[in-house]
Amino acid sequence: MPLQMKLSAITLDCPDPLALAAFYQQATGLEPHPKSDSDFAGLNREDGLLIGFQRVDDYRAPSWPDQDVPQQLHLCFDVADLDEAEARLLELGAGKADQQPHEDRWRVLTDPAGHPFCIIRG
């Protein structure tokens, strides 16, 4: 019988946890964890999932699509309108990756710390 595990947290390395948490809070509307600080910040989802951001000295942003610094993971978010979501996220400080494999179905963006994430037409 397989072990029953429930995903409780996703944590991203970054140089500035509070700044990255603020970006994702503005993008998702999730509530900041009350014990967030400059070493570890978090956002809480109603079902208990925590998105965490931990300070890493000498942090190096992923270099997607090349693998000099691998992306390690990426997040995907469903959105109603790709163009509208992209514009708003760019206003919040996201970047847009040069390579867009299926721009009509999803967009590859980067958060302010350089992690790639996708917005997908939901």
0.85 exceeded by the pTM?
A: no
Rg (CA), the chain: 15
Per-position DSSP letters for 72-105, written without gaps between them = ---EEEEES-HHHHHHHHHHHT-EE-S--TTTTT
Q: Give the pLDDT band of residue 12 (cuts 50, 70, 90).
A: very high
Q: What are 47-74's pLDDT values in tens digits?
A: 999 999 999 999 999 988 888 988 777 7
Residues with Cβ within 8 Å of residue 110, at least 6 apart in sequence? 61, 64, 94, 95, 96, 97, 116, 117
The pLDDT score that the predictor gives to residue 2 is 74
Q: Hunting for tokens 């970047």 — which residue is that?
A: 95
DSSP state, residue 68: S
Query: Rounded to an integer, what distance in angstroms lies between the CA atom of residue 75 and that of residue 62?
Result: 13
Contact 52, 40 (CB under 8 A): yes
Query: Rounded to an integer, what distance in angstroms lies between the CA atom of residue 120 and that of residue 122?
Result: 6
Mean predicted confidence (pLDDT) in 81-95: 95
1-5, 63-67, 98-102, range with greatest mean pLDDT = 98-102
Q: Hunting for tokens 């809070």 — which residue is that?
A: 25
Q: What are 14-41's pLDDT values in tens digits?
A: 999 999 999 999 999 999 999 999 999 9
> Is pLDDT above 70 for 3?
no
